[in-house]
């Protein structure tokens, strides 16, 4: 599972990093994101790493991995199940590990039969009393969260948190912060509002993928419509009129409110063209025959 990682500013001028080729640096940073666990284990599969990290670049992923191994940034290890893995061994030196996540990594589960001393076995994983502390002279990574962002839901042996909010480690610090529930949870708990339903239906808004700013703009539009006493039926009619007035413009809740008074009137019609002199003479001749 991919995870968010952080860079220190000194990373870009680190002596060990500047010696790498540009694509090797990118691949190395991507290995932090796609490591199987906080210990930095990755499958020894350059092709898969390229698809995850450099999908649109014509590069030799095998050569990049070999460059990182030669530079000491990655190590090759063998797990007890016989499978080969890469190990970004500096990763655990710069973050506080989340032991709940380590159990999901095959290497952490079965252990290592050979490789660097930094590799851990299941027994050693559970015996660590204190998390690693960032090294002051190593600029590669900044301190990361005390708990994994992906693990907001407790595992079976962890007590569930009460209340409508989840507490988890603040990104980039050791302080806990209270985070609001996901947008899908808010949507399920939102009381029914006919005006809200009418405007999102009229504007064809997908509430499941609505961002925070878009939700705020929709709430403000509903509040304005509530002030003027608009009904769901009027919202639907004004939305239809908006599209008739401006067929090439995307209809949003904010745009509908701004143009509310304009779309309440029928759209302007083109004035009939003035008859040509020839048509006038022809019409007079026709009336004379009658």
Task: Note the pLDDT tens digit of each residue in 221-249.
Answer: 899 888 888 898 889 888 888 888 888 88
Per-residue pLDDT, 37: 84
State the average pLDDT for the chain.
Answer: 73
**Highest averaged pLDDT of the listed ranges 15-19, 106-110, 129-133, 180-184:** 15-19
Q: Residue 25: count other Cβ atoms within 10 Å of its Cβ.
A: 19
d(CA 288, CA 290): 5
**Contact assessment for residue 254 and residue 220, using Cβ atoms and an 8 Å cutoff:** yes
**Nearest alpha carbon to residue 73 among 98, 42, 101:** 42
Query: What residue spans define the domains of the chain?
Result: 9-149+166-179, 187-263
Per-residue pLDDT, 184: 52
Element (H, E) at 79: strand 75-79
Unique residue bearing structure tokens 């907001």:
152
d(CA 237, CA 88): 60
d(CA 175, CA 193): 37
Strands (E), 134-234: 166-169, 176-179
Going 237 to 242 to 245 to 249, the CA torsion angle's sign is negative
Q: Considering only 26-40, 76-90, 118-132, 151-165, which range has the smallest mean pLDDT?
A: 118-132
Average the pLDDT over 56-71 and give the result: 94
pTM score, whole prediction: 0.41
**Contact assessment for residue 17 and residue 25, using Cβ atoms and an 8 Å cutoff:** yes
């Amino acid at each position: 599972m991919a995870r968010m990682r952080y860079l220190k500013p000194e990373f870009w001028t680190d002596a060990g990093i500047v010696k790498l080729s540009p694509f090797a640096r990118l691949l190395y940073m991507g290995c932090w994101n796609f490591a199987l666990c906080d210990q930095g284990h990755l499958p020894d599969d350059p092709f898969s790493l390229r698809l995850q990290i450099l999908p649109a670049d014509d590069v030799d992923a095998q050569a990049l991995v070999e460059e990182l191994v030669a530079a000491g940034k990655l190590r090759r290890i063998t797990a007890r199940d016989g499978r080969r893995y890469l190990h970004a061994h500096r990763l655990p030196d710069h973050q506080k590990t989340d032991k709940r996540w380590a159990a999901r990594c095959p290497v952490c589960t079965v252990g290592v039969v050979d490789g660097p001393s930094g590799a851990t076995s299941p027994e050693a994983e559970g015996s660590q009393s204190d998390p690693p502390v960032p090294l002051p002279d190593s600029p590669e990574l900044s301190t990361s969260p005390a708990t994994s962002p992906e693990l907001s839901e407790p595992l079976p042996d962890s007590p569930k948190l009460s209340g409508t909010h989840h507490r988890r480690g603040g990104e980039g610090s050791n302080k806990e912060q209270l985070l609001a529930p996901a947008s899908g949870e808010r949507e399920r708990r939102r009381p029914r509002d006919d005006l809200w339903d009418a405007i999102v239906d009229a504007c064809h808004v997908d509430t499941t993928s609505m961002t925070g700013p878009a939700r705020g703009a929709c709430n403000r539009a509903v509040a304005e419509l509530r002030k003027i006493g608009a009904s769901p039926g009027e919202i639907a009619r004004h939305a239809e009129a908006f599209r008739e007035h401006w067929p090439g413009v995307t209809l949003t809740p904010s745009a509908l409110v701004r143009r509310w008074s304009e779309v309440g009137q029928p759209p302007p019609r083109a004035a009939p063209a003035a008859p040509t002199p020839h048509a006038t003479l022809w019409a007079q001749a026709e009336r004379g025959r009658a």
